[in-house]
Amino acid sequence: MLRHILIATLIALSSLASYAEVPTDSEEHIMPAGDRWTPWPWSMAQPFPWNDIRGMWKVQQDDFVSYFALKVVRPRATGIRQLQVKQIDGQTCKVIATGVGIEKGSRVLAQMTSRSGVTYRVHLTSFDQKDSPQEPLKGAEDANKVMVLSIGDLDQKGLDHMAHMQILKVSRYLDLRICTEDLKK
């Protein structure tokens, strides 16, 4: 029952998205520009890796660089596992948006809200490396899974209108030092 209330709340909030402001210049890096569609095998998604998801994750494609701080939370009111999501700009290392994700099927769906009130959606999906249509990224937190971050407008339906990128775990800690160290390079 509580899960249905949560989903209904997300749907209601998404209907307000059409009234959101246009992103300002300071928020130009919330979503990547252009079409970055990749034919991910959505039907082969693996169970969401709740035990290994906590930490700092990085997505980079062309000039779009963002970090995502992911933390599993369980609100006392519902007891349902949720994912707290913070998006950090890769050029300033400042939090530019926050949201909460819930599990639906094999993926986690989050509604994000930027500092100026722009709302958008983020999906996180896990795949086995052998099912990846792209070479899996290798990082400090190497695993047998490929995580895909899908990001797009709330008013667009389906996955076809979202940008899909591999997201790489760069630290198991929720620490912005990884971003500032990358900027120094």
| Total number of domains constituting the chain | 1
- Could you tell me if residue 27 is inside a domain? no
- Could you tell me if residue 58 is inside a domain? yes
- Could you tell me if residue 173 is inside a domain? yes
- Could you tell me if residue 24 is inside a domain? no
Q: List, for residues 86-126, the tens digit of each pLDDT value.
A: 999 999 999 999 999 999 989 999 999 999 899 999 999 99
- Could you tell me if residue 112 is inside a domain? yes
* Tokens coding 45: 């998604």
Range of the domain at 117: 2-19+32-184
With a pLDDT cut of 90, the percent of the chain lying above it is 45
Q: Place 72 in a pLDDT band, splitting at 50, 70 and 90.
A: very high
Region 135-144: mean pLDDT is 67
- Could you tell me if residue 25 is inside a domain? no
Q: What residues contact residue 183 under an 8 Å CB cut-off, 6+ apart?
A: 91, 93
Nearest to 70 by CA among 149, 154, 158: 149
Q: Which amino acid is at 181?
A: E
- Could you tell me if residue 26 is inside a domain? no
177 exposure class (CB count in 10 Å sphere: 0-12, 13-18, 19+)? exposed
Q: List, for residues 14-57, the tens digit of each pLDDT value.
A: 433 333 333 444 444 677 765 555 678 888 999 999 999 999 99
Determine the 3-state secondary structure of 162 from DSSP: coil
